[in-house]
Amino acid sequence: MSACVPTRHNRTSRSPRPPRASGVKRPHSPPPPRGGRFRIAGADVSASITVFLLAVPMSLGLAVAMDAPLQAGLISAAIGGIVAGLLGGTPLQVSGPSAGLTVVTAELIQVYGWRTTCAITIGAGLLQILLGSLRAARSALAVSPAIVHGTLAGIGVAIALAQLHIVLGGSPQSSAVANALALPDQLGRLRPAAPLIGALTIAVLVLWPRIPGRIGSGARRVPAALVAVVTATTVASLAAPGIARVDLPSWRSHVLPEVPHGPVLALATAVFTVMLVASLESLLAAMAVDKLSAAPAPTARASASPPPPPGSPGSPTTATSSTPPASTPPAPTPSASPSPPSPPAPPVRRADLDRELRAQGIANTLSGLVGGLAVSGGAVRSSANVRAGAQGRASTVLHGVWVLLATGLLVTVLEWIPLAALAALVMMVGIQMVSLAHIRNVHKHREFLVYGATITGVVLFGVLKGVTIGIAVAVAVALHRLARTRITVTDQGGEHLVVVRGQLTFLAVPRLSRTLGQLPQDGNAVVELDGFFMDHAAYEAIKDWSTAQAAHGGRVVFTGRSGGRIAEPASAAHSCCRPWTPWRNHHCHDEPGRAPEAGHGPRTPFTGARPGTDPIGTPHDMPHGTPTPTPAPASTPGSPPSPDVAPGRAPAPSLHRSPGRTTGPPAEAARPTGGNRLISGLSSFQRNTAPLVREELARLAAEGQRPSQLFITCADSRLVTSMITASGPGDLFTVRNIGNLVPLPNAESGDDSVGAAIEYAVDVLKVESITICGHSGCGAMQALLGAKPDPQTPPTSLWRWLRHGLPSLERMASRHHAWARISGRLPTDALEQLCLTNVVQQLDHLRAHESVARRLAEGTLRLHGMYFHVGEAQAYLLTEGASSGLELDEVFDRVDPGDPADSGELERVGI
């Protein structure tokens, strides 16, 4: 075996699948029984009160928006909390009147009346019970996210338009279009009382979560909705006593459902619509709660024992997390006796979606029977429940009990609430249903047409017709993408470049065969395949043409979009060394008798297909634009294939090796180490790289450095800053230390070196941005998690430095801060959670430096948080609002590979 064969890592040590009786549940499986008693923790009681204070004004507001009896909103909130909370498969999800059904229910009340609407709710609940018993909950999530988010956004637009009329002192019309057309007339009859109360409510809703400092941290414990309604009620009672207020009718006038009257098909359509919207809203909310509650508890996250590793059956990220690095470097251990290991955290129980759907059906059936609104799981109430520290379903049930008591004891208090305040509250809920994050996401996945068609259909024609339109457009777009294939041929001086963009199906075979047949049979050709699917008909057409070209003396190379070969000859695995990537398998340079090879162009030389081999791999296995960073020369007939390289795959480079482990043949063990390796690397630079960069470095030497960024990152050897930021000389002013820590200014046992670098970069070099970059498998963070200093042992230099990371550990364990998350998945364990939290905490430390605070106030400096996953070679950026300290949610978004010509995103983050 050649010494150039990449190092392979042992990935076979995986946890075996547990038996069914082990009690460890896979994602979205029913939680194991916890005993017969209903346990109530203190945290559940406090969380239930928080959710109750949020649920009462929202329930009343949604009832007003639907033109339903106001007590119906309170009834559905109580039943949703108690019944769905006791029986549901998502213990922390809070159910109540559905915001997504606002438009549907309002239309049903206008057409059929309130009593028939209750009967329709009963029918929808029975249908949910049936579907849950048939285990159809998972199938509901097969609907395209663009359709689901477009439906909710369309409903949100309709809600906002209807409630705007009430905020302006009028009454809503029968449809979203009628509400939009009636706005000019409503503005002409404007009276100031209701709009001012509505504006006050909206202002409090927007500003309350943004109160800075310790005051804001304490104030955010009280729901903004409650503060807004209380404020508006107080001001209205003093300044506008004649404003329209809540009017709760006597319970004696409360009506129950009746046998529905009307066309059977129309009633069945109504039942199906209510069931569909309520089920989708509940299941999406359950998935969102799952992601929030799957993160370790604050105390567990600070424990020395992390949760189960990703990929194990008990891991909270089995279904969503990516593969971690193959080997984690040992953490630096201070000279202190480690604390005894804590018992492993119990496996996180995921939602049982079928059980949740059955529970929602039972709650809807009971709510309709007693004259309540339709029930669904709510993301707003549920997230408030999780963030308030709820530990089990007791919080959800108690919230329903408090709502039930309020309907009998707080009638007088509730009747003081102005209708304009409730309308403003519901209008903001509708506006928030049109999520900019969802719009960006569907646009990124090229599904904005489906999203826009669904919104338009829901607003113009109703929910069910809007969903149907969205599905039809989604199917049309999918067929168009499948059938659309662009084939172009360019003559490049004796060779032909054939570019195939799109999916290669049987529909494209006639045009593809005609185009390939027009090429000279004895000529050279490069076929660039830019797609991710090739069916059998297209595969056979290309293979037959390639074989015919080789038989006539022609040479064909198949590449991806970036020019890398899709099927590299086996001998290419042995040509792994290139002067522009000396770190990749650099032990190749040290093999006796081997010298670095000369550089090559962007594409490989033309090679014909050898008899008996496939030139393009196998069908259905064509990666999208598969690049090969080190193109290889033509294969030599008869060269033995490498046992470590699969056919049709380029060898995966090994970026690091475990210390003390021999991974190659005996010849590799004799390679130079230490100083000899340094001299070898310097010689390689002088021979290959220096001639290319000498002119640029001479210019920088004459002009001086003017970097635009200060980059603070860890000293970990696997973090190559110039590589992951695609930067060169003069671009980055870099500070590296253990743990990418930024000591607070004037802190005890502080370190002036980092502060001096920050001051020099900000005040002298006038950098435009500062980035703090953490990474996966950080040894410093592992040391903070796994060891504590011994009071009887003098602290070492390492531990004195690591003290600057203790605030990050405290932040992760605190309930007053949002949990740092990675977009699309949860942190794999407590170590990754601390690595993410540390980036956010060090940004806070950075803002405490006087020079940084001054430039931030002037608006001439931007801060960025970054996380680099070493094993994935993937960068994540902290959202812009969180980086600037203006957002509560700390989410690291994945940086996707984009078109080099489209550098707007990179310019936005300053990297």
DSSP string, 529-559: EE-S-B-HHHHHHHHHHHHHHHHTT-EEEEE
Give percent of the chain above pLDDT 90: 20
Cα dist from 600 to 19, 309, 396, 522, whole Å: 54, 42, 65, 25
Among candidate residues 601, 589, 607, the one with its CA nearest the CA of residue 631: 601
Predicted confidence (pLDDT) per residue in 199-215, tens digit: 999 999 999 888 887 88
Quick one: CA torsion of 142, 147, 150, 155, rounded to 10 degrees?
-80
Residue 883 or residue 248, greater confidence: 248
Q: For residue range 478-492, what is the model confidence (pLDDT) as tens digits?
A: 888 777 788 889 988
Give the pLDDT score at 170: 83
- What's the pLDDT at 284? 80
pLDDT tens per residue, range 229-240: 899 999 998 888
Residue 213 burial (CB count, 10 A)? 8
Distance from C-alpha of 803 to C-alpha of 788, rounded to nearest angstrom = 10
Q: What is the dihedral of CA 626, 627, 633, 639, to 10 degrees?
A: -50
**Alpha-carbon gap, residue 321 to 798, rounded angstroms:** 32
Average of pLDDT values for 437-464? 87
- pLDDT, position 290: 75
pLDDT tens digits, 380-399: 788 778 877 888 889 999 98
**pTM (2 decimals)?**
0.50
Q: Write down the mean pLDDT value for the chain.
A: 75
Q: Which residues are catalytic?
A: 714, 716, 718, 775, 778
Q: Helix and strand tally (H, E) in the chain?
A: 36, 13
Q: Which helix (H) or strand (E) covers residue 496, if one does?
A: strand 495-502
User: Which range has highest mean pLDDT (118-132, 289-303, 673-687, 797-811)?
Assistant: 118-132
Concatenated DSSP letters of 39-56: ---HHHHHHHHHHHHHHH
- The structure tokens 């690397």 sit at 681
Statement: residue 865 has pLDDT above 70: yes
Q: Please give the pLDDT value at position 510.
A: 87
β-strands 495-502, 821-822 pairing: unpaired
Strands (E), 809-886: 821-822, 862-869, 874-878
Tokens 């991806």 sit at which residue? 560
pLDDT by residue (tens digit) across 350-368? 678 889 999 999 999 999 9
- How many alpha carbons fall within 13 Å on the CB side of residue 687? 14
Closest-CA residue to 99 (of 281, 349, 336, 309) = 281
Q: What is the pLDDT of residue 739?
A: 92
Indicate if the pLDDT at residue 110 is higher than 50. yes
Q: Does pLDDT of 328 surpass 60? A: no
Q: How many CB atoms lie within 10 A of CB 773?
A: 25
- pLDDT bin (cut points 50, 70, 90) of residue 438 is confident
The better pLDDT of the pair 224, 565 is held by: 224
* pLDDT, tens digit (0-9, with 9 covering 90-100), for 333-345: 343 434 444 444 4
Please name which of 542, 525, 447, 533 lies closest in space to residue 485, comparing C-alpha atoms: 533
Please report the pLDDT score of residue 379 as a whole number: 75
pLDDT of 359 reads 94
Mean pLDDT of 737-761: 85
Alpha helix positions (H), 462-532: 463-483, 509-517
Q: What is the pLDDT of residues 772-784, one digit of tens each?
A: 999 999 999 999 8
Q: What is the DSSP string of 750-763?
A: --HHHHHHHHIIII
pLDDT at 271 over 70: yes
Buried/exposed 776-808: b ≥16 CB within 10 Å, e otherwise:
bbbbbbbbbbbbebeeeeebeeebebbbbbebb
Is the CA virtual torsion 38, 42, 46, 49 positive or negative?
positive
154 pLDDT exceeds 70?
yes
CA 363 from chain centre, in angstroms, equals 31
pLDDT of 868 higher than 80? yes
Q: What is the mean pLDDT of residues 721-726?
A: 88
Q: What pLDDT, on the 0 to 100 scale, is given for residue 252? A: 67
For residue 864, what pLDDT is reported?
92
Which pLDDT belongs to residue 839? Answer: 93
407 in helix, strand or coil? helix
pLDDT of residue 790: 65
33 is written with which tokens? 């029984």
The 3-state secondary structure of 737-752 reads ECCCCCCCCCCCCCCH
* CA within 13 Å, CB half, 676: 7
More confident residue, 738 or 437: 738
Better-scored residue on pLDDT, 670 or 723: 723
- Cα dist from 789 to 34, 302, 801, 802, whole Å: 38, 16, 12, 11
Measured in whole angstroms, how far is the alpha carbon of residue 404 from the centre of its chain?
Answer: 37
* Number of Cβ within a 10 Å radius of residue 666: 8
- 425, pLDDT greater than 80: yes
Q: Which residue has the higher pLDDT, 151 or 646?
A: 151
Tell me phi and psi for residue 856, to 5 degrees. -65, -40
Q: Which two tokens stand for residue 583?
A: 């770190």
d(CA 92, CA 893): 26
Identity of residue 404: L
Digit-coded pLDDT (tens) for 511-569: 888 888 888 888 888 888 887 678 888 888 888 888 888 888 888 888 876 555 554 44
pLDDT at 2: 39
Q: Kindly state the percentage of the chain with pLDDT values over 70.
A: 72
- pLDDT exceeds cutoff 60 at 299: no
d(CA 53, CA 402): 9
Range with the poorest average pLDDT among 112-116, 335-339, 509-513, 758-762: 335-339
Burial class (CB in 10 A: 0-12, 13-18, 19+), 163: buried
**For the segment 626-673, what is each residue's pLDDT rounded down to a tens digit?**
333 333 333 333 333 333 333 333 333 333 333 333 344 444 444 455
From 243, 68, 247, select the one nearest 169 (Cα to Cα). 243
Per-residue pLDDT band at 624 (split at 50, 70, 90): very low
| pLDDT recorded at residue 565 | 53
Cα distance between residue 394 and residue 34, in whole Å? 13
- Distance between CA 774 and CA 769 in Å, rounded? 16
Answer yes or no: is pLDDT of 26 > 50. no
Could you tell me which of 742, 845, 829 has the C-alpha nearest to residue 777? 829
Outline where DSSP puts E strands in 768-861: 769-775, 821-822
Which of the four pLDDT bands, split at 50, 70 and 90, describes residue 12? very low
